[in-house]
A and B are shown apart, each in its own frame.
Chain A
Amino acid sequence: MNDIYTSHRRPYYIYAPDYVRISAGIKALHLLCHYLNKMGEEAYVHTQQTNLKLRTPLLTDEVRKRHAAIDAQPIAVYPEILHGNPLNTKHVVRYILNHPGLLGGPKTFDDSELLICYHSEFQNDVSKINNQLILTTPTIDITIFNNEDNGHDDKRSGYLIYPGRYSKAREEHPDLFDKGTVITYQWPQTHEELAALLRKSTALYCFSNSAIAAEAVLCGCPVVIMTSPFTVRPKDFHDPDKIDGFVEHPGISSGDSVAELALARQNTVAFQETHRKERQDFVTQLAQFIKLSQEMQASAPTAGRAPTNAVAAGIQAFNNADNDTAAKHLSTALAEAPEDPIPYVYLALISARSNLLEEAENFIQFAQSLAPERHDFVAALGEECLKNGHNRDALRYLQQAVDKQPDLFPAYPALAEALRLNDRQDQAIHLLNSAAAIPSAAQEQILGLLLEWLATQANIDAIPEVCLRLRNHPGYQALGIALLTRTGMPPERIRAEARHYVQPYLASGLTASMPNRGKAGAPLVIAFLVSDFRREQLSGRLEALLQHLPPERFISVVLYNDPQAGENETAQRCSLINDHSLITVGREDIDVLQAMRELDIQILVDMDGLGVEHRLSLFGAADVPLKLSWSDTPLLREAGIACVRGAALLNEGEASDTDVLLPGLGEILALPRMETSPRVAAAPLTFGCLSSAVHFSRDCWESYALILARAPDSRLVVNLGELGASAQEFISTFFIAQGVDLLRLDFIHATDISSLCTAWNLVDVGLAPLHGPGDMALPAALWMEKCYIALRGDSSWSRRPGALLRQAGQDQFLADSVEAYIALACDLSRPPLPQPPGLRQKLQDIESGQASVLTLTFADLIEQRYRGDL
């Protein structure tokens, strides 16, 4: 603890990737910040995602400005993989968490930096011998990973396998995998579940240098290190006195004979003791680190590789796109220090930028001859080629770099892009899919790119899986779940995902509170949380509600959580007629909650359910007596949240006491005045998938391809909505697979209700999505006197297409199975096509006065529920 009377303590800025449970290095950085704060220092972490249980305040601009104003001279702590001094502090500490350069980044560091090593093994890698310090920040929670009071210890059975990043493990050891239990990044989900497995297993076969080895041994489970690129020490780090197995400590074995395992098992106790001691030593190490770092002299202005002036000037000129000046400085640098590879690398980049590819090749070869392990140099040249349109060379360099160094993850997005530009999109997606499964500093970027590409294809079977990997981002998780409802995924899996999504917010009051009855006669303050105004069905409903809620009974508030609301016509109109607008975009929950308290909100309705902008944290934390969800995917019900639903969407006996049931579908339709056009009798039958393509899963397209194959004269209109050529290409593949001529497909882009109605005039029979609620295209079909085929739909989120047909009295277009759906479509392709009369009239009968009637029903029910009368 530092002297509280000492006023001049330097704060610490710790530069760390987002917190993840499974990376020991990342945890060490976050924990260092935590322990520094616990020791009475002022430490911040420069990251996006922290562990809420740790004392790791974020480094914000305000903090930095405050420190600058008082000349606090902060100390930046960087992991060894990072080049330079991006926080631009005078004092730099480099935390060597692995062999420098092994995971990318520099291999040497400026003399002015304070180097601290996570493990003594790394000390040999850094040349300087002064001011080196061991700082083994404990990253394992020994309250979870221990072998104490273990009833399974003497009757352990079965073994575990941890392939880690080594994708060929199963292929190379099929027998091992046949009988063992495989641990992945995703499973088990919690530390407690993992510890329970380790405490009852006989051994862990480990293909990767990971903290799991230490966790296993602490649980009394011996570890067998398997040979893989991730467990063998790289050549240039090889110490002939040491075995090749990367992870070394008692309890770990390189073989799995009975004797080796028995010895390792016996040694687990020794490691537990060593670990206990290391934890004790850490306190001393930390105190020493604090002392040294507080006393250190200022680092060099351009901390990092300490480039010569000529190199630095060359790089700066290169970054400013001044190639001639850059080349001049770099040539000088070459003359001064011919053993430095950096000038060669930049000369290669300049050559690529100037379309001198042969010269680029020569320069990069020189660089590689000086630093053969620096595959990131080659990758950099690949990226430069990519930027300059040399796609084939880009692919060659990037592929070469990644082949040589498979964990060069920052190069993966560029490699994927190069593959895509070389007409190998499938390979690109496959590559990103593989890389996305592996934790790395680039993982989020890789997942983001993958998501973007899958979204442009409307590949809604693959998108949810990617979204669900981004569990740190609740928005993606919500989107993933919403999209799962459009696939044939078993409802139980979807419900489980929903429960998992909601779980973290349950403690903060998501379950409905007891209504306080409020002052009798006073209007109720009702708020609507809206995160996506683009969904016309939902935003139109909100507009109608705001317009028709009796002002003497309700004061309306809209929480605008949609970043695009400023450009959305309905959102703008809502802001005109709501009593209060509360803009939540870009605001912290705490600020919005304060604003909500000031408005004394009594009822909060989440209007659009799950999506990437969904703000469940706000909904959960709001101190509001009555909370409701009104969504076409009523999944928050899984967490006990009361839902507003259309009675026609429920199965018999399904109604719950807590739900608010509205008549019919509970929808408010606003359909345009538009003429229908009669069918041309002689024309071939045209089917239409006019719900936007993002509503159709793989099995939908396969079924429709089958329909077209069996009804050879028919055609199909597909609405891509806002999607482009990539989606068209993706969808076309399903029809090509069934031998359907693509000339029989018409792709259109209808994005609003008017264009949808116009498009229905092109179609004879609609095909509703097999799963999910569909969208405004379905009522638009009936409005334009067109019928569509739909499944009856089992799950609550898939009943809407069928329920709408039933409301219109068109049960004959309902199918009980996918086979029946296909058969019905094929039957309809044979003339004469039945023409159900008066669909528009029927829809008008349903809709007649609906906005005001439905709103008043909603108002009555909600008021009764709030006052406790329901």
Chain B
Amino acid sequence: MSRELFKFKGGVHPPEHKAESNTRPVHAAPLPKKLVIPLRQHIGNPAKPVVEVGDRVLKGQLIGAADGYISAAVHASSSGIVSAIGPAVVPHVSGLPDECITLSTDGLDEWIVHAPLDYRAMEPSDLRMRLRDLGIAGLGGAVFPSAVKLDPGATHSCPTLILNGGECEPWITCDDVLMRTRADDILQGVAVMRHLLGSTEILIGIEDNKPEAIAAMQAAAQKMDYAIEVVAVPAIYPGGGAKQLIKTLTGREVPSGKLSTDIGIQVFNVGTAYALARAVHHGEPLISRLVTVTGHVLRPQNMEVLIGTPMHTLITLAGDRDGTTGVLMGGPMMGMPMPDLDVPVVKATNCILVKSRDLFPPLPAALPCIRCTRCADACPAELQPQELFRFAKTGDFGRAQEYHLFDCIECGCCSYVCPSHIPLVDFYRYAKSEIWAREKEKRAADLARERHEFRQFRLEREKKEKAEKLAAKAQAKRAELAAAPATEGPAQTDADAKKALIAAALARAQAKKAEVAPKNVDHLPPEKQREIEEIEARRAKIRELARQPLETDEKKS
């Protein structure tokens, strides 16, 4: 270990609890009867369904196409029939439903025809679009579409590529187990990343509490024909955060509001590298991942799980126990409570953590903030959590933004050390979502203003155009009339022109009236004409007769 390591500020040392789950061998979870595959599993636009209810789909078949640049496709995790397309409960803290495709599996697990990609011969942009269509997204937690991250952009290269095997969050061991068992595949994925990004320096950061993973990765790295440095980094939470790992390995900091690519560094999770290797070397889309099932279960372990598998089947498989008080997706520091255990495993699901009263005793009631600033000491983003808390609580979001609320990575160190047990991160999440909602409202208001102003302008313009058209028409008519009688007499005044105009209009109207007179009595033979005259005479007589008694009646009254 010749590399000089750096230390980021803050961080905490929560109990690791890794040994529970990382010793058991990895098994594939059995095929469930029903797979629920959400269309929004990644950051960006949700995928668009390309199948219909009743269709038979094969394993690995595209069922939701990527929609736009920042998006990723979703695929059938096994063969079967599409039984529903519509809202279903997804693993989200709100418990709200979202668009999903539900498959009834047929148990055959029949693969669609797939072939490896010759990535070296492919145009980089084509390869990226192919990866997007294979549904590759970051498996570290953020689920950002990898194709976007693999675009070096205008600089055409990203000198440093960091593979994140930190896995600092307690309880979770899926990356650890992946590195132990599939190190060679991971490095195949790294080769693709290197090819696309043009990186010259490749670092793999692994926390030093995973010696087996470090040994496996080092052994695999030796086989490659270019330098890959496997670096053991000190185990401290959140040392596996992208910005923290960059700081530890390179000593550089990502400036506030910037991306790591702005300083020439790109970070990927080891799981993403593995998925990339499967995609490129086997043509397989991202339809399964390693998931740690741990906590209050009989056999904590890692499983290879198909995307869309209901979480409760995995908990049953790991042996559920009495006294469960809830389930988190993710670890104890950043994990989200699941509203329902029917929710499916998605690309973001790295861990299913079953809670119990013994393992996770309920937090004591919160006390007021005493401004001890222990949170500021623990904050790895070097923020002032106590100030952010004050602003978020009182709704002073502008000040919260001035104090760089959006640099908060929601790691939970502040809540962990708070002696008053204040759920600080909940306040920051609340403040962030309020700010986003306001920005959205502001954009909507700006659009409405613009459209309203354009409407006013349009109405004004239409009025003007109408008036101009009328004026032009009148002018033309006048000029025409003025020109016609000019041959007769030169003494033409404006009033005369107007008079002539009226006369002409009258003549036109009369001509029109004459035109619409009934035509079926014109050009009749004389006998018909006589008949009509007789009828008319009779009619006149009857009319005369009818009027007389009426007049006499009137006289009487």
A and B, one complex? Answer: no
